[in-house]
Copies of this chain bind each other. A is one copy, B any other.
C-alpha cells in the first residue's frame, strides 16, 4: 500500500482504515478521542472506523463538530477529552472535525486559551506540542490530514488560521472507500477546495519548487476527475484521484495560499449563512485568477499545462464552466451574500494569513471590489 512521506506519513489506498489499530498501538494511544460530526455518525461512516477497532469501549466519541469549527466547540470537546482521560485524537471527517481535532490535540498538551497560538502574533513560540493525532479524511477535501494548519472561528468573530509543523498528524489514513457515498454537491464543493489549494499554492509567492511540482500534479489529477466523481460517485478511480489531489493540495500549500482563501474565510465567518468553504473557494476563484494574472502569468502557463488546456486558454472562464458543470453557484449572491456584508468581511480578508502569500498585494479597496465582482 502506498506510503507517502513528505510532510507526514500518509497511508493511501482503498482499505487503509484497517491500518488504524496498528497506528493507535504505535502511537501509544489506548483511550482515543474520536472527533467527528453528527452527519458522519448518522450516515454510518463512523461505524466503518469503529468496526476496525479492537476495543471500542476504550474510545470516546465527540460528534458535536459544527459546520465550521468554533472556539466553543473546541472547548466543549476538550472538556470531554480531559474528562474521559483520553490520550490521543483521531479525527474523522471533512475539514471541520479534522481542524477541531487538531485544536483539541493542541490544547490538551499546550494548554488554552487557543488565541495565544495565533501565528501572526508570535503564537508559535508558545506551542509546547500536541497530543498524538491521527487523521482520517472522509471528503476530498481540505487536505487537513497532511497540513500544518487548522482554522477555527473564534468567539470574538475572527476566523483564525493556526499553522505549525507540530500540528501535523502523526499519521494520515487516506481511504477513498470512505468517499464513495459522498453526495454530488459535497463532492463538487470539496473537490473544488482541493483544486483551489493546488492552484493557490502554485501561485503563492514563496519559492518552493517541490511544492509547485506536487501542486501541479494534484491539479492535473483533480481537473481530470472532478466531474466524473460528481456524476458517478461510485467510480473508484475518480474517488482515488480526487482524494490524492486533496492530499497533494495540502502538501503544496506549505507555501501558503492566497486571496481566494482570505475571502472565503472572511465570508465563512457569517454563521447564519452556513457557507461551505469549498463552494466559496470555487465561486471566488475565477475573480482572483483574473486579479492575479498580471503578477504571475508565467505560472499560468504551467497551470494550463497541468489542466490540459491550450496555452491561450482563459483560466477563469474554464473554472466558471466547470463550476456550472458540477452544479456549483456562479456567484456569491446566489449563495446568500450581499454587498452590504462586504464592509464587514473586508478587514478579515485583509488580515488573513493567506493574504500574505498572494502573488499580488491586495488592499482593503481591492478586496471590496473583488467581493463586488464575485457577487
A interface list, Cβ under 8 A from B:
2, 4-7, 165, 206-218, 221, 244, 247-248, 251, 254, 305
Alpha-carbon gap, A217 to B213, bound state (A): 5
Interfacial chain B residues near A217, Cβ < 8 Å = 209-210, 212-213, 216
Partner of A6, one of B2, B6, B165, B206: B6
Can you add 14 more A-B contacts, CB < 8 Å, to A210-B214, A213-B214? A2-B207, A4-B208, A4-B210, A5-B165, A5-B254, A209-B217, A209-B218, A209-B244, A210-B213, A212-B217, A213-B215, A213-B217, A216-B216, A216-B217
Q: How far is the CA of A216 from the CA of B217 in the complex (A)?
A: 9
CA distance in complex: A5, B4 (Å): 14
Complex-state Cα separation, A210 to B213, whole angstroms = 8
A248, B210: Cβ atoms closer than 8 Å: yes
Q: How far is the CA of A224 from the CA of B148 in the complex (A)?
A: 33
A255 to chain B, nearest CB (A): 10
State how many angstroms separate the Cβ of A197 from the closest Cβ of chain B: 13
Q: Which B residue sits closest to A2, measured CB to CB?
A: B207
- A117 → chain B, closest Cβ, in Å? 20
Cβ-defined contact, B251 with A210, below 8 A: yes
A-B contact pairs, 27 of them (CB 8 A): A2-B206, A2-B207, A2-B208, A4-B209, A4-B210, A4-B211, A5-B165, A5-B254, A209-B214, A209-B217, A209-B221, A209-B244, A209-B248, A210-B213, A210-B214, A210-B217, A210-B247, A210-B248, A210-B251, A212-B217, A213-B213, A213-B216, A213-B217, A213-B218, A214-B214, A216-B216, A216-B217
Q: Which residues of B are found within 8 Å of A211, using beta-carbon distances?
A: 4
Which chain B residues border A208 with CB–CB below 8 Å?
2, 4
Q: How far is the CB of A195 from chain B (nearest CB, A)?
A: 15
A315 to B158, CA, bound (A): 53
Q: How far is the CB of A2 from chain B (nearest CB, A)?
A: 4
Closest Cβ of chain B to A256, distance in Å, is: 13
A164 to chain B, nearest CB (A): 13
CB distance from A147 to the nearest CB of B (A): 13
Give the shortest distance, in Å, between A13 (CB) and chain B (any CB).
Answer: 8
Chain B, Cβ-Cβ closest to A148: B5
What distance in Å separates the Cβ of A306 from its nearest Cβ neighbour in chain B? 9
Compute how far the CA of A216 lies from the CA of B6 in the bound complex, rounded to whole angstroms: 16
**What is the chain B residue whose CB lies nearest that of A254?**
B5
A139-B213 Cα distance, complex, nearest whole Å: 22
| Closest-CB distance, A163 to chain B (whole angstroms) | 13
* Bound complex: CA A208 to CA B215 (Å): 14
CA separation between A221 and B5, bound complex, in Å?
Answer: 23
Contacts of A7 in B (CB 8 A): 5-6
Find the B residue at minimum CB distance from A10. B210
**Bound CA–CA A244/B213 (angstroms):** 12
Q: Distance (Å) between the CB of A248 and the closest chain B CB? A: 6
Residues of chain B contacted by A165 (CB below 8 angstroms): 5
Closest to A219 in B: B213
**Across the interface, which residues of B come within 8 angstroms of A212, CB to CB?**
217
B residues near A6, Cβ cutoff 8 Å: 6-7, 210
* Residues of B close to A206: CB separation below 8 A: 2
Residues of B within 8 A of A213 (CB): 210, 213-218, 248
